[in-house]
């Protein structure tokens, strides 16, 4: 039974120990959180105070902004000018590239079109040399028209029996046209050659074409034999324009259909060529003339070639090439025609080929006129300026970088201005100590030059001193400072002390405590002087806590500039409450001093023993390794 009680007692003891450790851990966690929050608030407050101080300097010295603003203007203006120059240069190169592409593409189309049209000249030459071909002009002029199938209709066809179907003439034509077509090497593109004497379609090769179509399409031209172009109102302008032309005249693109004579009345016609060009070359042979209205033309008629434009486009792979390059194009032809009745010329722009996204508003367009048979073709290239993809980001980056350097320069100039202000005050204090003492103690004018007699008179004055019964003295130094400073440059040592004491001075003003002096790394402050402060001990304790937090934060930040082990420095702080005597020691160096009569007081980094009293509270704090005791190191 006793063993059970013993085990329970042990378990209860261990449980209490665990609970105590957990409580300690929770307390440490809460303390760490409070320290972190305090450090964050302290950093925020410091940043805000620095901003207000810098703003005050800028207001008092507006010239500080001049150079940073000038640097910003130079960097930003120069950078923007450079970016604009690069963008314009890139745009010019892209425009030249687009023009070159248009010329290259246009030359290809022009070359292909010329190859398809060239056979017309050979066929026209045979018409003038072969009598049976030349005779077709007069024969067709004398053939009657075929009555229309519908009453009151237009007689669109002429009787071709015995003229266009003459075996000898037809065989001669087929042989010549076959040879010309094969020599042109335009299979699938040049799909028909035709003789059109007196502007009546008379012969076509091949009459039924299956060899130029791979999808089983049949182009049957038999339904066009005998078609009188000058008898159809919609074809009269074209037929007369061919007679007027001094070279090849083209129309299209047109949709060609197969309409044999027996199907033309019902309108059941199949499409043979979706997009086709008709190229016509007027022919003069013999003394044959053609009269159209009041105009008479010394023409035999014309020879025509039908060009499969869709096949020519497919062969060029132009759409795929432009899509891969991220560009668009539009190929157009301008038709000009003259109204025989009004003699007025009209133009019509026909789109021959176009990419789907050509009309996008994001495109820049460049047009080139093509050197074709009728000089009426134009190639337009549409492209995007790549500078738009990066120019806005580059401008934003330039402005940001310029602002960064200008802000950095402003910060440097503000620091220099701060240093000059501090240096000026210090130099004024060094240069005018005697005059200040004379004005303070002897009430003399500022222009009065000091003399040994005046210095002696100061010593005869009543001492400036007083007794302060309730105050708290704060004394702090840096642990490890001697070893750390021996391994640093003088500028680094002063950088540390200047930064730390500068922030301590701001905390003094904030907490309304009185700074007595600094000696080396020692910083002395007192509360309750010169005006009584009932909460002097509490006020000084809060001051010490804020200084401790600020010191730890500053050493971590300064380690990047002052080297390793800077963050390892610790601030030792001593607080002592009780009465002191304070006053100004007259002489060559008049300063305010305090003296403790009944308690220990650290002066100049040394502990000076005096009469101790248990009625006074002494506290020694050390951050991270907190020790509570008297300044001589004894724990109480």
Asked if 199 and 229 count as a contact pair (C-beta separation under 8 A), the reply is yes
Report the Cα–Cα distance between both ends of the chain, in Å, rounded: 45
Q: 351-369 burial, b for 16+ CB within 10 Å, e for fewer? A: ebbbbeebeeeebeebebe
10 Å Cβ neighbour count for 9?
10
Residues 42 and 506: their CA atoms lie apart, in Å, by 12
pLDDT at residue 391, as a whole number: 85
Residues 598 and 617: their CA atoms lie apart, in Å, by 12
Instruction: Give, for 28, the enclosing helix (H) or strand (E).
Output: helix 2-60
Residues 225 and 539: their CA atoms lie apart, in Å, by 118
Asked if 556 and 562 count as a contact pair (C-beta separation under 8 A), the reply is no
Range 232-252 average pLDDT:
84
pLDDT at residue 371, as a whole number: 66
Point out which residues pair with 307 in neighbouring strands.
190, 277
Least confident window among 108-122, 348-362, 503-517, 613-627? 613-627
pLDDT at 605 over 60: no
Nearest CA among 194, 226, 222 for reference residue 208 = 222
CA distances from 110 to 158, 369, 407 (A): 36, 11, 62
Higher pLDDT, 457 or 515: 515
Kindly give the pairing relationship between strand 290-292 and strand 328-338: unpaired
What confidence tens digit (pLDDT) does each residue in 579-602 have? 888 877 665 566 777 877 534 544
Check if CATH label 3.30.70.1230 holds for domain 462-622. yes
* Opening angle at CA 147, ends 142 and 149, nearest 5: 150
DSSP sequence for 229-287 = TTTSHHHHHHHHHHHH-SS-EEEEEEEEEE--HHHHTTT--EEEEEEEEEEEEEE--TT
Tell me 63's DSSP state: G
Whose tokens are 């004018």? That residue is: 445
What confidence tens digit (pLDDT) does each residue in 300-319 have? 999 999 888 888 877 777 77
Residues of the chain with pLDDT > 90, as a percent, come to 17
Range 110-123 average pLDDT:
83
pLDDT at residue 339, as a whole number: 62
pLDDT at residue 456, as a whole number: 59
pLDDT at residue 211, as a whole number: 84
Least confident window among 125-129, 350-354, 496-500? 350-354
Tell me 146's DSSP state: P
- Highest mean pLDDT: which of 219-228, 536-545, 571-580? 536-545
**Tokens standing for 400?**
């940001």
pLDDT at residue 553, as a whole number: 93
What confidence tens digit (pLDDT) does each residue in 402-452 have? 999 988 888 888 888 777 777 666 555 554 455 555 555 555 555 555 555
Nearest CA among 153, 273, 144 for reference residue 213 = 273
**253 upstream amide cis, omega within 30 of 0:** yes
Higher pLDDT, 487 or 56: 487
pLDDT at residue 39, as a whole number: 67
Whose tokens are 């105009």? That residue is: 295
Residues 72 and 326: their CA atoms lie apart, in Å, by 38
Range 512-516 average pLDDT:
91
For every residue of 510-539, which 3-state class applies, written as one string?
HHCCEEEEEECCEEEEEECCCCCCCCHHHH
10 Å Cβ neighbour count for 184?
18
- Highest mean pLDDT: which of 172-176, 370-374, 388-392, 460-464? 172-176
Helix (H, G, I), strand (E, B), or coil: what is residue 412?
A: helix
**Tokens standing for 12?**
């209860």
**206 upstream amide cis, omega within 30 of 0:** yes
Kindly give the pairing relationship between strand 377-383 and strand 464-479: unpaired
Q: Read off the pLDDT band of 615 (50, 70, 90).
A: very low
DSSP sequence for 349-401 = EEEEEE-TTTT-TT-EEEEEEE--SSS-EEEEEEE--THHHHHHHHHHHHHHH
Range 79-107 average pLDDT:
85
pLDDT at residue 373, as a whole number: 56
Asked if 526 and 473 count as a contact pair (C-beta separation under 8 A), the reply is yes
DSSP sequence for 159-171 = --TTTTT-HHHHH
Whose tokens are 């029996």? That residue is: 161
Residues 112 and 465: their CA atoms lie apart, in Å, by 114
Residues 325 and 602: their CA atoms lie apart, in Å, by 83
Range 192-209 average pLDDT:
89
Asked if 275 and 173 count as a contact pair (C-beta separation under 8 A), the reply is no
Asked if 630 and 620 count as a contact pair (C-beta separation under 8 A), the reply is yes
Helix (H, G, I), strand (E, B), or coil: what is residue 198?
A: coil
pLDDT at residue 510, as a whole number: 92
Q: Read off the pLDDT band of 207 (50, 70, 90).
A: confident
3-class SS shares of the chain: helix, strand, coil, % to 5: 50, 25, 25
Q: Where are the domains of the chain?
A: 130-316, 462-622
Q: Read off the pLDDT band of 630 (50, 70, 90).
A: very low
Q: Is 215 exposed, middle or buried (0-12, 13-18, 19+ CB in 10 A)?
A: exposed
pLDDT at residue 493, as a whole number: 92
Helix (H, G, I), strand (E, B), or coil: what is residue 450?
A: coil
Least confident window among 34-48, 49-63, 75-89, 314-328? 34-48
| Helix ranges restricted to H, 130-166 | 131-142
Phi and psi based region of residue 313 (left: phi greater than 0; alpha: psi -120 to 50; beta: remaining): alpha
pLDDT at residue 90, as a whole number: 86
**93 upstream amide cis, omega within 30 of 0:** no
Higher pLDDT, 476 or 13: 476
- 289-295: which pairs have CB atoms within 8 A and are 24 or more residues apart? 290/141, 290/198, 290/199, 290/230, 290/243, 292/230, 292/236, 292/239, 292/240, 292/243, 292/340, 293/340, 295/240, 295/340
Largest CA distance in the chain: 155
Residues 230 and 232: their CA atoms lie apart, in Å, by 6
Whose tokens are 């010169």? That residue is: 530
Residues 231 and 156: their CA atoms lie apart, in Å, by 6
What confidence tens digit (pLDDT) does each residue in 139-163 have? 888 888 887 777 666 778 888 888 8
Instruction: State residue 10 phi and psi, 5-degree precision.
Output: -65, -45
Q: Taking all residues of the chain, what is their mean pLDDT, rounded to a whole number? A: 77
- Highest mean pLDDT: which of 104-113, 223-232, 265-274? 223-232
Range 484-491 average pLDDT:
90
What confidence tens digit (pLDDT) does each residue in 323-376 have? 777 788 888 877 766 665 666 767 778 787 788 778 777 788 888 777 665 556
């Amino acid at each position: 039974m006793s063993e059970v009680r013993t085990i329970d007692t042990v378990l209860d003891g261990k449980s209490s120990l665990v609970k105590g450790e957990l409580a300690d851990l929770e307390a440490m966690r809460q303390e760490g959180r409070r320290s972190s929050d305090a450090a964050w608030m302290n950093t925020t407050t410091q940043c805000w105070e620095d901003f207000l101080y810098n703003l005050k300097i800028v207001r008092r010295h507006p010239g500080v902004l001049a150079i940073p603003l000038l640097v910003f203007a130079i960097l930003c203006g120069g950078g923007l000018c450079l970016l604009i120059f690069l963008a314009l240069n890139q745009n010019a190169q892209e425009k030249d590239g687009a023009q070159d592409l248009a010329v290259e593409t246009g030359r290809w189309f022009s070359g292909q079109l010329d190859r398809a049209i060239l056979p017309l000249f050979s066929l026209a030459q045979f018409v003038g040399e072969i009598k049976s071909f030349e005779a077709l002009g007069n024969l067709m002029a004398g053939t009657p028209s075929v009555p229309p199938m519908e009453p009151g209709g237009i007689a669109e066809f002429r009787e071709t029996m015995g003229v266009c179907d003459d075996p000898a003439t037809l065989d001669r034509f087929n042989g010549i046209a076959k040879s010309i077509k094969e020599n042109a090497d335009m299979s699938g593109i040049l799909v028909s050659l035709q003789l059109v004497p007196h502007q009546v379609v008379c012969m076509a090769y091949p009459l039924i074409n299956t060899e130029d179509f791979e999808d089983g399409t049949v182009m049957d031209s038999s339904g066009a034999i005998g078609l009188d172009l000058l008898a159809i109102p919609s074809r009269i302008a074209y037929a007369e324009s061919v007679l007027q032309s001094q070279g090849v005249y083209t129309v299209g693109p047109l949709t060609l259909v197969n309409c044999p004579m027996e199907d033309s009345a019902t309108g059941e016609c199949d499409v043979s060529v979706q997009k086709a060009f008709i190229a016509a070359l007027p022919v003069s042979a013999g003394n044959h003339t053609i009269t159209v209205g009041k105009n008479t033309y010394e023409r035999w008629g014309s020879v025509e070639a039908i060009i499969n434009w869709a096949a020519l486009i497919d062969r060029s792979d132009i759409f795929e090439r432009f899509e891969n390059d991220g560009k668009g194009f539009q190929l157009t032809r301008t038709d000009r025609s003259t109204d025989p009745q009004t003699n007025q010329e009209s133009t019509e722009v026909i789109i021959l080929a176009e990419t789907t996204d050509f009309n996008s508003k994001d495109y820049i367009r460049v047009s080139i006129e093509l050197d074709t048979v009728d000089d009426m073709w134009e190639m337009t290239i549409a492209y995007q300026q790549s500078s738009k993809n990066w120019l806005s980001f580059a401008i934003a980056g330039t402005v940001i970088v310029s602002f960064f350097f200008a802000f950095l320069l402003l910060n440097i100039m503000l620091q220099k201005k701060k240093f000059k202000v501090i240096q000026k005050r210090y130099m004024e204090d060094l240069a005018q100590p005697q005059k200040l003492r004379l004005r303070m103690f002897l009430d003399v004018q500022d222009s009065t030059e000091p003399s040994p007699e005046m210095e002696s008179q100061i010593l005869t004055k009543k001492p400036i001193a007083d007794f302060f019964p309730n105050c708290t003295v704060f004394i702090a130094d840096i642990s490890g400072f001697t070893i750390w400073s021996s391994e640093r440059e003088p500028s680094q040592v002063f950088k540390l002390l200047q930064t730390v004491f500068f922030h301590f001075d701001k905390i003094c003003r904030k907490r309304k405590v009185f700074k007595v002096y600094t000696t080396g790394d020692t910083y002395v402050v007192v509360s309750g002087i010169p005006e009584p402060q009932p909460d002097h001990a509490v006020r000084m304790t809060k001051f010490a806590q804020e200084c401790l937090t600020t010191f730890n934060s500053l050493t971590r930040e300064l380690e990047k500039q002052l080297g390793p082990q800077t963050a390892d420095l610790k601030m030792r702080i001593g607080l002592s409450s009780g009465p002191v005597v304070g006053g100004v020691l007259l002489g060559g160096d008049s300063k305010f001093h305090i003296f403790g009569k009944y308690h220990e007081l650290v002066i100049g980094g040394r502990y000076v023993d005096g009469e101790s009293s248990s009625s006074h509270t002494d506290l020694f704090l050390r951050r991270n390794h907190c020790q509570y005791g008297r300044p001589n190191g004894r724990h109480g």
